[in-house]
Chains A and B, each alone.
Chain A
Amino acid sequence: MPVVKSRREILLSAAAAAAFPIFPAWGQKAAGVTIGVITPTTGTFAFAGDLVARGASLALEKHGNSVIGNAVRLLIRDDEGKPASGVRRVQEAAISDGMRYFIGAYSSAVGLAESEIAQREKLLQFAAGGSEDFTGARCGRYTFQWSAHPYTAMRATLEYARKAFPQKKTIYTLTADYVFGHALLKYTKTVAAELGFELVGNDNHPFGERQYTQYLTKAIAAKPDILLMNTAGADAVTAIRQFANFGAQNIAVVGPWTLEVDQLAELAPEMRSGLILGQNYYPDVDTPANKEFVAAYTKKYNALPGYSSAYAYDATRAILLAMEKANTADVPDVVKALEQMSWDGVLGRMSIDQKTHQLIRPYFVVRCKPASDMRHPADFAELVARGEKPQPPELNECKQMPAL
């Protein structure tokens, strides 16, 4: 028999619903803190998902799996490398599991979509990725950016290329056709002009492209000195594999943000040898916190850590340290604490630029070794340079951080 409700009962129910916060389970779960790890375990960046989770898990273990008397748990979800999936996973985790903090995404396009939810629902997001929009036009008070700014990355990489190849003048760029690639291309133009390189051509390729010979045929026909890969992930791996088939030894391949150490194993040594690559992280970085991290990671996983794990480890640690500094797990207080603190991170003494929420950090450049110079299977490259030049303030589009 259907239950008939009076208008008064319906209004009372509506008022009761409105009186409770959007996440009713949150209050019940106040004794515990849930940190989301929203990363891709499928799709173009599938390699990164498990590695990100490893880093976050290690940070939690280092912290005794608790913070200010609360048990901390990780909630791991697959964003599939797709913005729509990432947004869904964040919303589901916030509503169903009381998640108020999350590490993600690995891809800029996904992270930027999730950032909209973070601002709206007041969730603290510690993101990675190469888009400048995180700390520029789409900056938000609840989003922090761990990865280097694309300007810093481009400047460090091309500065080294300038030094390593004083005779090389012309650059041809292959650019991923989404926010990440566009940001790199923008700063390629800025930095190339600063360093005296000439850009002789660019091709944008669709995200997820698996056939590059048509772009490479065109690029090689332009006879550049340097092929600059403004692309990443599986796209970059495929493009470099196919470029290796051309045997164009006279063209140097430079990747400002192309392959992190995590993905170098995907290329055969002869495809990798001589590549000049910018890195957000490299296991050889000489800091006390990194030595401790590398030792713990190697002991637990019997492998060297890469960017994905280092990012998650450091970002998770920063969130936990900010909670301790704020002495609460309330998100706005933790955001304020994170804005003001500095900590010994894997890359050295770290802090946040309050105006943009960009992590103030160095960027590294490596040169890949030939197989004969590798001391062990993961000895892919040699650290050859480091750069810290931040984005010039006049180029930043984050006009004002919104109030909490």
Chain B
Amino acid sequence: MLWLISAQLINGIAIGMIYALMALGLSIIKGLLNIPNFAHGALYALGAYVCYSVSSSGAPFALGLLAAFLAAGLAGLALDRLAIRPVGAGGYLPQLIVLFGAALIIEQVLLIGWGTIGLSYSPPPLLRGAFDLGFAVVPRYIAFASIFSALVISIVWLLIERTRFGAHVRAGIERPDTARVLGIDVDLLLSGGMMLGAGLAGGLALPLVGATSTMGGDMMGIAFVVLVIGGLGSLYGSVAAGILVGLVQSLMTIAAPAASTAIIYAVMIVILLFRPQGLFGER
């Protein structure tokens, strides 16, 4: 039993890092726009499709990831300029509706562009197979995806905490209007959030969940749970919550597998009962 718990702990941390990356981008956008980005899932799916097209054309997987990163960023910029900004004066509700509509449009565009049949992509040969730890078997790609996510999150942390750019991000998240007045390009930061949490996460998830037009909806449920548990707008809260959700989901499989997804919603309810602002959020 101890071996199984250890194996599930490793698996939980690995998938938790991927959840954390998704939620980090969502958290940045939530801070900048002050509304949840309902189009995040659709951009995540776009990232997966773009990564698939580039990688399966013979280009290296790394190039596919880069293309996914850029495509989600460009789509995010277009979304901001063409949809969010024009209704910005109307406040909270029109922006939500526009984002919701944009998600539906992007999903339909994906269906028209890539068809209704889902797509699969095997990781590059170097990342196929698994590490046999004796007590657990860890797929190389899962290990890569979690280490890569951890690296990206660390770089983002360094950028935010130690650079002038990071100061802009923090200012943008805390007071977007004031940051704009000071000449900080909040829209560019918004695009960065979409690049990270949607495009890159979508590309990274491709060998695990494939590319389907509805994959964004599947991801959004968990990403929002992570965001709420971590505390809305708390960048590091979303990282910690991502790992927590991965661990809970994985460990629950030992005791009650059928409840392994339901349990994360139960954990969210319990945390909100005792800390309505989430684990790392501020009132």
A-side residues, CB < 8 A to B, are: 42-43, 46-47, 50, 177, 203-206, 208-211, 213-215, 217-218, 220-221, 234, 237-238, 241-242, 244-248, 263, 265-268, 270-271
Contacts and interface: CB of A to CB of B under 8 A. Distances in A.
B210 interface: yes
A246 B130 contact: yes
Contacts of B142: 213, 245
Contacts of A267: 120
Contacts of B218: 208, 210
A241 to B, nearest CB: 6
A248 B257 CA distance: 21
Given A246-B139, A248-B130, A267-B120, A204 B257 contact: yes
A47 B212 CA distance: 10
B137 interface: yes
Interface size class of B (residues with CB under 8 A): 35 or more
Contacts of B4: 218, 221
A214 B140 CA distance: 15
A205 B118 CA distance: 21
Contacts of A204: 257-258
B209 A271 contact: no
Contacts of B12: 214
B14 A213 contact: yes
Given A50-B116, A206-B262, A268-B120, A215 B253 contact: yes
A109 to B, nearest CB: 15
A203 B253 contact: yes
Nearest to A213: B11
Given A266-B117, A268-B121, A271-B120, A221 B3 contact: yes
Contacts of A220: 137
B254 interface: yes
B141 A245 contact: yes
B62 interface: no
Contacts of A218: 4, 7-8, 253-254, 257
Contacts of B3: 221
A205 B8 contact: no
B136 interface: yes
A260 to B, nearest CB: 13
A238 B210 contact: yes
Interface in B229-269: 249-250, 252-254, 257-258, 260-262
A237 B254 CA distance: 23
A53 B125 CA distance: 40
B119 interface: yes
The 6 closest A-B pairs by CB, nearest first: A247-B129, A245-B139, A203-B257, A204-B258, A214-B253, A214-B250
Contacts of B249: 211, 214
B214 interface: yes
Contacts of B128: 245, 247
B122 interface: yes
Interface in B198-242: 207-210, 212-215, 218-219
B15 interface: yes
Nearest to B107: A42
Contact of A238 (B116, B121, B209, B252): B209
B210 A241 contact: yes
A217 B117 contact: no
Given A205-B257, A209-B261, A241-B209, A214 B139 contact: no
Given A50-B116, A206-B261, A245-B207, A217 B8 contact: yes
B123 interface: yes
A266 B120 contact: yes
A271 B116 CA distance: 20
| Max chain B C-beta neighbours (<10 A), residue from A210, A234, A244, A247 | A210
B118 A270 contact: no
Given A47-B116, A217-B136, 17 more contacts: A42-B214, A46-B116, A47-B117, A47-B118, A204-B257, A211-B249, A211-B261, A213-B11, A214-B11, A215-B260, A217-B137, A218-B257, A221-B137, A245-B142, A246-B137, A268-B121, A270-B122
B118 A234 contact: yes
Contacts of A244: 122
Nearest to A211: B15
A242 B130 CA distance: 12
16 contacts: A47-B116, A203-B258, A204-B258, A213-B11, A214-B15, A217-B137, A218-B7, A218-B254, A221-B137, A241-B207, A241-B208, A245-B208, A247-B129, A265-B117, A270-B122, A271-B122
Contacts of A42: 214
B276 to A, nearest CB: 27
A242 B208 contact: yes
Nearest to A244: B122
Interface in B107-153: 116-123, 128-130, 136-137, 139-142
Interface centre among B212, B215, B253, B261 (most CB of A within 10 A): B253
Contact of B258 (A46, A205, A263, A271): A205
Contacts of A210: 209, 215, 218-219
Contacts of B137: 217, 220-221, 246, 248
Contacts of B214: 42-43, 46
Contacts of A203: 253, 257-258
Contacts of B207: 241, 245
Contacts of A215: 253, 257, 260
A266 B118 contact: yes
A237 to B, nearest CB: 6
Residue among A213, A242, A265 with most chain B CB within 10 A = A213
